[in-house]
Amino acid sequence: MAISRRNFLKVSAGSAAAIGVNLFDNPTLRSAFADAIKETPIIWLAAGACSGCSVSLLNSLSPRIQDVLLDQVIPGHHTEMAWHPTIMAASGDLAMEHMYKVEEKPFILVVEGSVGRAENGTYMEVGERNGHGIPITEHVERLGKKAIAVLAVGSCAAYGGINKANMNPSDSVGVGEFFKEKNISTPLINLPGCAVHPDWFVSTVAAILLGGLEAVKVDELGRPLMHYKKLIHDNCPLRGHFDAGRFAEKFSDEFCLYKLGCKGPVTHSNCAEKRFNSGTNWCIENRHPCIGCTEPEFPYEGSMHDKVQLQQVTPPAAYPPISTEHKQGVDFTPTYGALAGLAVGAAGMNMLKKGDNGDQGDLDEKE
């Protein structure tokens, strides 16, 4: 059976490790192993974004951001953050030349932020050409067609997010909607969140490197099921209060936050399991309602604290309802009508009996 050079080096490394031999003391072998590692460059393109998702990535705990940038995310695979406007050292023409060089080989495109289409995309520009800014729409279209896969990181990139809300002066849309307009068929994975959890990004990239795009199972909105299958409501620490009909009326109350605008019953993500800031905390444990940032409706029309319609969960019927209507109208159903009729009839009979008794008394007196 034929064995490739790459597989031979992997087997050799494993055998050497088993007997305690350090092959990397040999410069020739060190170079050979470096060549055997598969390198996948990433172009991280910032569109209409606040850089919050980049900051979240920099807070990655396991693996650390140093490992993501410099080491192997999985054995034999190194993801090179080849272009990132926030963390790269290069700038200006030098940075743009490097982008053009990287895109000539297989790469993963990451888009952070919405795609602004107003005024030919001039609301959002990256780099210059002949003294004029290059619209973000040009970059997303060009790189989107070339990439082996595209990750729309954050709610703005996935659905348009905050930039798309209300009047939307920048005419912002998510990457998926932009791809449909341009007939771009490159596989797209949405990683919504405001901000995205670093684990959602790193583990999705690792899954692609391990098993290809088919290894990432997604829902109808293109979100990886391994992160966005469950409702926040399913793992909420306040779920018991919801089921018992105990709802907070103000933020200092300790009960379920649904009446204060919590979107947990309609929001899909594993925030309760992952937590943010190196696993320290998340919205609800910080006594703030879930804002539903992984859903296409985010940031929602009207107030963030408006209640959402329950679609898949309701409190058990044995407990008090979420909203209690105190006004009680008169019920004119047949049952109540019959009871009312009986009451009127009984009152009439009593009056007739009293009348009969009074007449009989008068007759007795006359006799």
| Catalytic residue (choose from 53, 78, 139, 241) | 53
227 is an active site residue:
no
Determine the Cα–Cα distance for residues 286 and 5; give it in Å rounded to an integer: 53
- The separation between CA 72 and the C-alpha centre of its own chain, rounded to angstroms, equals 27
Element (H, E) at 43: strand 38-46
Residue 225: Cβ within 10 Å count: 12
Grouping H, G, I as helix, E, B as strand and the rest as coil, residue 189 is strand
| Catalytic residue (choose from 50, 77, 98, 305) | 50
Crossing angle of helices 136-146 and 175-182, in 10° steps, is 80
| Catalytic residue (choose from 84, 227, 256, 268) | 256
305 is an active site residue:
no
98 is an active site residue:
no
Residue 310: Cβ within 10 Å count: 13
Crossing angle of helices 27-36 and 5-18, in 10° steps, is 120
283 is an active site residue:
yes
Determine the Cα–Cα distance for residues 285 and 7; give it in Å rounded to an integer: 47
| Catalytic residue (choose from 84, 139, 156, 227) | 156
Provide φ and ψ at 355, rounded to 5°: -65, -40
50 is an active site residue:
yes
Give whole-number Cα distances, 133 to 49, 89, 96, 303, 358, in Å.
17, 20, 12, 36, 105
| Catalytic residue (choose from 78, 84, 139, 194) | 194
Cβ–Cβ < 8 Å for 96, 133: no
| Catalytic residue (choose from 98, 271, 305, 326) | 271
Q: Report the candidate in 46, 49, 56 with the shortest Cα–Cα distance to residue 271.
A: 56
CA atoms within 13 A on the CB side of 14: 8
53 is an active site residue:
yes
256 is an active site residue:
yes
| Catalytic residue (choose from 78, 139, 197, 236) | 236
271 is an active site residue:
yes
156 is an active site residue:
yes
Residues labelled as active-site residues: 50, 53, 156, 194, 233, 236, 256, 262, 271, 283, 290, 293
